[in-house]
Amino acid sequence: MLSAAARARLTVVLVGARNPSNIGAAARAMQDFGFSDLRIVNDYAAPFEAAQLEDAATPKSAVGAASVMQRARRFSSLTDATADCSLVAGTTAIGDRDLQRDILTLQQATPQILGSLTSDPQPRVAVLFGSEKTGLSKEHLSHCSLLLTIPLFAPEDARHLSMNLGQSVAVCLYELTREGLEGSREIPTLHEAAATADDRERLTQLLLDVMHVTDYTRRFPANAAEPLVRQLTQQLGTTHREAMTWMGILRQILWRERKQ
């Protein structure tokens, strides 16, 4: 389980992001998975400022992620943005590049990233994502000690495989937290009383009555044998509530048939 302290040491760096909505989508993904340190590397402040203005006015892509957007910082160089990080992991769609370096799948890279986040002393880890149009350049990737890619389906006519920036951030953060995260909302457990033998027997008798009233017993006697019907009711729900629902349905059928 990834602790809150470990999540606070992970930095998401968007390099050259141009679309404010994509920046907002990345911030929302971070909020959803419990991460908070977003850094933008861009010579131009416009996309970053537009994303912050969009979030402050009428949140769209960054719904619920105001705190992440407010704390996000812009840097003019990747060196400055990752200066305090001990491990820098770069994401790439590979494409036709000749990188001449080992590239791990996201699943393969995750243990190394998690190992750094949970080690002692406690380093800061950066995960880099490139621009929507070009991704990370070779110069950007030269700052990385680890390269990873998200495996994608490759149609025969595909020229270049890539994933939307916000989606890429979400997929990577999900993989990092897949074993659980401290402070996450637990899925509520539904506790229902199991169907009893008495429920099953009452259901069996009602079903036999319906078969008789609808003339099913006469037309298909082999299928209406009581042991077979009793066995069939074992599949009609596993809880008392489900058994009672089936009983209500069968009683309604009986009422309609007898009324007619």
Tell me the average pLDDT across 8-17: 95
Q: Decide if pLDDT at 29 tops 90.
A: yes
Q: What is the phi-psi region of residue 47: left when phi exceeds 0, alpha when psi lies from -120 to 50, beta otherwise?
A: alpha
Question: According to the model, what pLDDT value does residue 203 have?
Answer: 95
For the chain, which residues make up each domain, given as ranges? 4-176, 197-259
Q: Is the separation of the CB atoms in 163 and 181 below 8 Å?
A: no
Is pTM beyond 0.75? Reply is no
37 vs 27: CA distance, rounded Å: 9
Burial group, residue 103, by CB count within 10 angstroms (0-12, 13-18, 19+): middle
Question: According to the model, what pLDDT value does residue 170 have?
Answer: 96
- Quick: pLDDT tens for 169-204: 999 999 999 988 776 666 677 788 999 999 999 999
- The correct answer on CATH 3.30.70.520 for the domain covering 4-176 is no
Q: Is the separation of the CB atoms in 66 and 59 below 8 Å?
A: yes
As a whole number, the mean pLDDT across the chain is 88
